[in-house]
Structure 1
Amino acid sequence: MGYADLAPGTHADRMRDHWWWRPGWRVGQRAYTWHITFEGQEQLHRLARHHQNTLSAVPGLDLVPLEWLHLTMQGVGFVGDVEPSEVSRVIAETRTRLAQLPGVALTFGPLIVADEAIVLPAEPESAVKDVRTTIREGIAAALGWERVGEDPDRFRPHVSVAYSNTDHDTRPLVELLEQNPAERVTVEVPAASLIVIHRDQKVYQWETVEEVPIGQRHSL
């Protein structure tokens, strides 16, 4: 049962290894995708650090370095399958559309233990889904709807603070987290980023291609 299948506020019964290879992925593979990233978001970093301090002694978890915290939005395609001119069109179409949205502020917490990761749900979900829908429309305008992958109905926005690298029962982990709660935090989200991402070292790392402002603003 994936995170998208869990009722709000509930935990998975078991965790499994997150690092299995999805179709098309391998060491050395790179992909274009849209994420929300959190450089300089100290409130979110402090919250993640609090939880990671609690989780640091738990075997079977890979803690996400603060610089690589992210909210997954929408894939575009593997590098090599998307031409540079297509990337430029995707950016241009998405930029025009994201500029028409209102500004976004997201609240994170409390932690949920999902099937492959320990996550901070993002609220309101509707605000993130509006951004994602707009990004999907930008990709479709640039490349056609047939190139827009992923099921929009199975998207639940979250930031992962740790990934599971083995199979295990979640009950001791849930009990540990309940003994070490933290306040929610709210952060402004000024932009969505088109990135080139990989997972060669069992951590998601990327290079930013373009940061695109959300809402009308002249600078980030």
Structure 2
Amino acid sequence: MSPLPTRMVNRWQNRAEPGPGQGTIYWHILIGDHPGARDLARTARERLAGFSGLHMTPPEWLHITTLVAGPSDEITDEQQRDMLTTASALLAKIPPIDVTLDRLYYHPEAIALAVRPTEHLDQVREAVQTATLKATGREGHTEGPSRWTPHATLVYSEAEQPAEPIISALGRELPSCPITIEALTLVDQRGPERLWDWHPIGRAPLLGRR
């Protein structure tokens, strides 16, 4: 998500989106229940209050996208249960993971918090990818660049405008926020992304001993 963009663009202008009754199954690390993460989102909202054309992630759905499993109409309820069962068994061997949120990533379509360090998160992604492959025959994929870069998106752009005033107002980082990742959640995201019609299917906890 670097170098810094010169312009923001409309993320959804040419983006293919699910139609009525359609959805996408995702593995997410949900962080909206962490007070510190919500505080960072509120700080971003306050600093950017003077700008139009920005769509904020609802605090309750702050998340780190880990894997896109596939369209909901191609993954049965039984397969979803199998994914959770296998992922839970694999993640039960991995201890909770301490990470820090502070540095900001800027992209023409979005602004996100970096998640670091990342090395232990790769184990988590491998676990849910294995579970997805075992249950569905597909590995899933990364949203965006081919290499997974853990991040938590705070703001989506929905208009064309210069990026520099937004970057100047928000800055390059926010107050450091440590959080502990304790579970992954399988989520059915229904309809267009920006409607936030999310339906958690189940959680797979990280239960390993530190």
Size of the aligned set, in residue pairs, is 207
Q: Which residue of 2 aligns with 1:122?
A: 115
Instruction: Check conservation: 2:84, 2:203, Cα contact below 8 A.
Output: no
Instruction: Check conservation: 1:34, 1:73, Cα contact below 8 A.
Output: yes
**Displacement after TM superposition at 1:28 (Å):** 3.8
Q: Which residue of 2 aligns with 1:45?
A: 38
Instruction: Check conservation: 1:195, 1:210, Cα contact below 8 A.
Output: yes
User: Residue 128 and residue 27 in structure 1: after superposition, are their counterparts in 2 closer, same or farther (change >3 A)?
Assistant: farther
1:207 corresponds to 2:202:
no
Match of 1:148 among 113, 135, 139: 139
User: Residue 83 and residue 168 in structure 1: after superposition, are their counterparts in 2 closer, same or farther (change >3 A)?
Assistant: same
Aligned ranges 1:1-220 → 2 under 5 Å: 3=1, 6=2, 10-20=3-13, 22-23=15-16, 25-144=18-137, 147-151=138-142, 153-178=146-171, 182-200=174-192, 202-216=194-208
TM-score normalised by the chain length of structure 1: 0.85
**Displacement after TM superposition at 1:27 (Å):** 4.4
Partners of 2:149 and 2:62 in 1: CA distance: 16
CA RMSD after TM alignment: 2.2
Instruction: Check conservation: 2:32, 2:63, Cα contact below 8 A.
Output: no
**SS at 2:194's partner residue?**
coil
**Displacement after TM superposition at 1:58 (Å):** 0.9
**Displacement after TM superposition at 1:153 (Å):** 4.2
**Displacement after TM superposition at 1:173 (Å):** 1.2
Partners of 1:119 and 1:148 in 2: CA distance: 25
Structure 1 residues without counterparts, runs of 5 or longer: none
Q: Percent identity?
A: 25
Instruction: Check conservation: 1:122, 1:159, Cα contact below 8 A.
Output: yes
The structure that is strand-richer by fraction is 2
Structure 2 residues without counterparts, runs of 5 or longer: none
Partners of 1:34 and 1:87 in 2: CA distance: 11
Instruction: Check conservation: 1:107, 1:124, Cα contact below 8 A.
Output: yes
Instruction: Check conservation: 1:28, 1:200, Cα contact below 8 A.
Output: no
Partners of 2:202 and 2:73 in 1: CA distance: 18
Partners of 1:39 and 1:59 in 2: CA distance: 24
Partners of 2:66 and 2:193 in 1: CA distance: 21
